[in-house]
Amino acid sequence: MRIKLTVSYDGTDYCGWQVQPNGISVQSVLEEAIEKITGEKVKVTGSGRTDAGVHALGQVADFYTEKDNIPPENFAAALNTVLPDNVSVIKSERAADDFNSRKCAKKKTYRYLLYLSAVKLPLYERYAVQIDKNVNINKMREVSKVFIGTHDFKCFNASGGGAKTTVRTVYNIEIAEKDCMLSVSVTGSGFLYNMVRIMVGTLLKAGQGKLSAEDAEKMLISGKRSDGGNTLPAKGLCLMSVEYE
């Protein structure tokens, strides 16, 4: 049977989701845990590859097991007994035989956390990126509207991304502020390599008064990465949820 897992991890100490020649990946840690529980060497498929240092609250993954005698919902607790503290299976359930976490994904939501402070705050440093207090959030919201919809996001495609098409649909961008924490949540059909980190870097540039909505529109048309903001650090990014039909 095919098992669907909802997985959360602190990505700080990982080389990313995908198995890599050097460094420990979340995927390999899950595959080892499954082998410890079932005795089977399986391949775990994730909804997408999160980069080194990127976190997840609701990554989705799947694998096939011959152990039909284990109730699907019990895999979560069983795997958590052997997983390290920085990876946890929040939920396990039976999926259709042809379910594929990556191919069947319809929507993903990523959240980027920024904190507004003149000095570094150690308690925020692990999951958020410090920015100067002088940022205009309404400007960020205004420019974010330019990115909603189906567009060619070539301008947000980092070199190294091997996507066939750079057209994606962004359904929603929500910018919320609480105390000194600023969160930018982006929901889309899928994302190009580093797309969220560059997009939020571009919104930040807008918030700093260095980029207008017109500039953002021109970026989409020109497809030129150079017009955008910086690629923000991995640690501020978290894969919140993946939706299926």
Does 123 participate in binding its own copies (rule CB under 8 A)?
yes
Cα separation of 196 and 67, whole Å? 38
Does 238 participate in binding its own copies (rule CB under 8 A)?
yes
Distance between first and last Cα of the chain: 20
Nearer to its own copies, 9 or 112 (CB): 9
Q: Which residue has the tokens 């799947």?
A: 62
DSSP 8-state assignment for residue 137 = H
Both structure tokens of 116: 């507004």
Does 234 participate in binding its own copies (rule CB under 8 A)?
no
Cα separation of 15 and 32, whole Å? 16
Catalytic residues, by residue number, are: 51
Does 169 participate in binding its own copies (rule CB under 8 A)?
no
Find the shortest distance in angstroms from Cβ 115 to its own copies: 12
Both structure tokens of 223: 């497809």
Cα separation of 190 and 203, whole Å? 19
Cα separation of 16 and 25, whole Å? 5
Does 160 participate in binding its own copies (rule CB under 8 A)?
no
Residues from 4 through 23 that contact its own copies (CB under 8 A): 8-10
Does 86 participate in binding its own copies (rule CB under 8 A)?
yes
What is the pattern of x (binds its own copies, CB under 8 A) and - over residues 41-60?
--------------x-x---
Residues 6 or more apart whose Cβ sits within 8 Å of residue 198: 156, 158, 225, 228, 229, 230, 231, 232
Which residues make beta-bridge pairs with 131? 116
Q: Taking the CB of residue 128, how many other CB atoms lie within 10 A of it?
A: 23
Contact segment (CB under 8 A) with its own copies among 72-80, 96-104, 132-140, 185-193 equals: 72-80
Find the shortest distance in angstroms from Cβ 89 to its own copies: 7
Q: Please report which helix (H) or strand (E) contains residue 129, including its range.
A: strand 129-131
Cα separation of 186 and 112, whole Å? 8
What is the pattern of x (binds its own copies, CB under 8 A) and - over residues 88-117?
xxx---------------------------
Residues from 172 through 201 that contact its own copies (CB under 8 A): none
Find the shortest distance in angstroms from Cβ 187 to its own copies: 18
Q: Quick one: which of 19, 37, 52, 121 contacts its own copies (CB under 8 A)?
A: 121
Contact segment (CB under 8 A) with its own copies among 46-54, 121-129, 138-146, 228-236 equals: 121-129
Residues of the shown chain interacting with its own copies in the complex, contacts defined by CB under 8 A:
8-10, 55, 57, 76-77, 80, 85-90, 119-123, 125-127, 238
